[in-house]
Structure 1
Amino acid sequence: MPERVETTSPDGVDYGWVMQTTFVATIVIGAPVVAGLSTTATLPTWSSRAEFAIRVGALVWLLTAITVFAYAKRKHDQE
C-alpha cells in the first residue's frame, strides 16, 4: 500500500460536504420549484424561459446553501 501524500484535519464545518449537499439538494428541490412556478408565468421565448430558470434557480440555490451551511454549523457546534 503506498504512503499517503496528504492528510487533512478540518477544523469547523466540512465545506466539501456543504457544497455537495447544496448541489444535490438544489437539483432535487429546485427542478420542481422552477417547473411549478413556470406554469404561472408567461414565457414566450427560449431566452425568457432561460432567464426565468436562472433567476428562480439562483434564489433556490442561495436559500439551500444558507440552510445547509446553518445545519452543518449547528451540528458541528453540538459535537
Structure 2
Amino acid sequence: MQPVERAEYEGIDYGWVMQTTFVLTILVGAPVVAVLSAFVTLESWSARAAFAVRVGAPIWFLTAVAVALYARRTDAGDGSSTDGDAASPDLDGGDATSADDNVDSDPTAADTAVDETEPTGPTDKSPPTEEP
C-alpha cells in the first residue's frame, strides 16, 4: 500500500476560504439578488443575467474578503491543532515518518524488515483432514 502524502502549511487555508465563500455567497447572495430584483424591471433573460452578475459580484467579493480576514484572524480551516486542542488521530496507526525518519518514499531496510512476532507459516485455521 502506498503511503498517504501529507503536507503541513502555515497561514491561510485558501481551499477552506474558497469553499466557505462559495457556500456563504449562495446562502446570502441568492436571497439578496432575488429581493433586489423585485424592485427592477427586467425585460429579458440577458437583462436578468446581467443584473444577477452586477449584484452578485460585489456580494461574492465582500464575502471572500470577510472569510479570508476571518481565516487569518482565527486560523480557521487550517486543520491544525492548537495547544489546548487534542492532537489529531493518526488513522494508519503509525507515525508520519518511518522508524528511521526516512521522509522520502524510498523504502529502507527498516521499512521492509520482517516482524518476527508475526507467524510466517500458513494461516489456514481449519482442522486437519485425514487422507485415506
TM-score by length of 1: 0.89
**Alignment partners' CA distance in 1, 2:59 and 2:19:** 15
| 2:57 aligned residue | 58
Query: Which digits, 9 at most, give the CA deviation of each residue in 1:16-75, with x for residues without a partner?
Result: 110000000000001100000000111111111000001111111001000000100110
Q: Which runs of 4+ in 1 moved over 2 A?
A: none
Give identity over the alignment, percent. 58
Q: Partner letter of residue 34 of structure 1?
A: V
For the aligned residue pairs, the C-alpha RMSD in angstroms reads: 1.2
Shift of 1:8: 1.0
2:18 aligned with 1:19:
yes
Larger Rg computed on CA atoms: 2
2:73 aligned with 1:74:
yes
Query: What are structure 1's unaligned runs of at least 5 residues?
Result: none
| 2:9 aligned residue | 10
Higher helix proportion (structure 1 or 2): 1
Give the aligned length: 76
Query: What are structure 2's unaligned runs of at least 5 residues?
Result: 76-81, 83-132
**Higher relative contact order structure (alpha carbons within 8 Å, sequence separation ≥ 6):** 1
